[in-house]
Amino acid sequence: MQVSEKRWFVSLLAIVGIIGASLFIVSLIQTPNNSFLCSVNYSNKNDNTPTSLQLKAILHYATSSTTPQQSFSEITITLDVLKSLKRPCNFLVFGLGLDSLMWASLNPRGRTLFLEEDASWFQKVVKDAPELNAHTVKYRTHLREADALLSSYRNEPSCSPVGAMPLRGNERCKLALHNLPDEVYDTEWDLIMVDAPKGYFAEAPGRMAAIFTAAVMGRNRKGSGVTHVFLHDVDRKVEKVYAEEFLCRKNLVKGVGRLWHFEIPSKVNSTIYDTVFC
């Protein structure tokens, strides 16, 4: 090897050495949250670091003597679906409760939206957890009307499976939730939890409109997959009868305790013009 070739070889070795040493030092000082040497945004959808809401939820439930009403096995049904989808989900929840921080935390980096009927209860929950994405909703129904609405809705074309769309502005069908925030109509929901509004006294709104609206949203899903609808309190007559009328037995995939889980297939590409829900 000539002197000039040797010099060239030594220089090359020196450059490779400097680059190698630099990369080694960078790998030592760089942590997932310390990305000052590159532009990768670590707070992406595959990030497994706990969110601030999850940390708040752990602290809340660890120091609270009150727990959500759903049982461990009921909650597990929804959690299993959230895990199976393997991505942040769009999760619509009817009702704010002791479980709200939990639902939002089980869907990290996803969109979890709560719809609450009771304005004073809304204020109380949101004051303690302002991070929750929640809106108040006005229902046009009363539990005492459940039977009459069930036997008359077929006479109203705006309540038919096809005629109920668009839900936004559908004033004619009393079962359609027609005045929700735009975000509700503009989002395709992967999961819908119906655990509200109140349905245990005659003047309460009852869950009729929430069940009907969830069924219509599921049927009109445009993306791939099904819409998972969870209904709580199916030991009650109205929840059971409305579920059988609009969410359909054939779509019932699981039931634990007082919770039913439905998978609503999209009818958007169906060639059959459906006149009934089930």
Binding site for ligand SAM (CB under 6 A): 68-70, 95-99, 116-118, 121, 195-198
Bond into 166 cis (ω within 30):
yes
Q: Environment class of residue 95 by beta-carbon count within 10 Å: exposed (0-12), middle (13-18) or buried (19+)?
A: buried
| In the complex, least distance from residue 197 CB atom to ligand SAM, rounded to whole angstroms | 6
Distance set, CA 272 to CA 161, 162, 168 (Å): 12, 11, 24
Nearer to ligand SAM by Cβ, of 159 and 234: the residue is 234
State the Cα angle at 220 between 215 and 221, rounded to 5°.
105
Nearer to ligand SAM by Cβ, of 257 and 265: the residue is 257
Query: What are φ and ψ of residue 261, in 5° steps?
Result: -120, 120
| In the complex, least distance from residue 65 CB atom to ligand SAM, rounded to whole angstroms | 13
Nearer to ligand SAM by Cβ, of 190 and 195: the residue is 195
Select from 154, 179, 165, 157 the least CA-distant residue to 267: 165
Cα–Cα distance between 157 and 90 in angstroms, integer?
30
| In the complex, least distance from residue 26 CB atom to ligand SAM, rounded to whole angstroms | 48
Nearer to ligand SAM by Cβ, of 95 and 161: the residue is 95
| In the complex, least distance from residue 255 CB atom to ligand SAM, rounded to whole angstroms | 17
Whats the size of the chain, residue-wise?
Answer: 278
Cα–Cα distance between 165 and 173 in angstroms, integer?
10
**244, 278 contact by CB (below 8 A):** yes
Q: In this structure, how many other beta carbons lie within 10 angstroms of the beta carbon of residue 31?
A: 8
| In the complex, least distance from residue 219 CB atom to ligand SAM, rounded to whole angstroms | 25
Minimal CB distance residue for ligand SAM:
97
Nearer to ligand SAM by Cβ, of 96 and 132: the residue is 96
Q: In this structure, how many other beta carbons lie within 10 angstroms of the beta carbon of residue 54?
A: 16
| In the complex, least distance from residue 130 CB atom to ligand SAM, rounded to whole angstroms | 18
Q: Where are the beta strands (DSSP E) in the chain?
A: 90-94, 111-116, 133-136, 191-194, 227-232, 252-256, 259-264
| In the complex, least distance from residue 35 CB atom to ligand SAM, rounded to whole angstroms | 39
Nearer to ligand SAM by Cβ, of 11 and 73: the residue is 73
Tell me the CB-side half-sphere exposure of residue 168, using CA atoms within 13 A: 8
| In the complex, least distance from residue 124 CB atom to ligand SAM, rounded to whole angstroms | 8
Nearer to ligand SAM by Cβ, of 136 and 266: the residue is 136
Nearer to ligand SAM by Cβ, of 8 and 200: the residue is 200
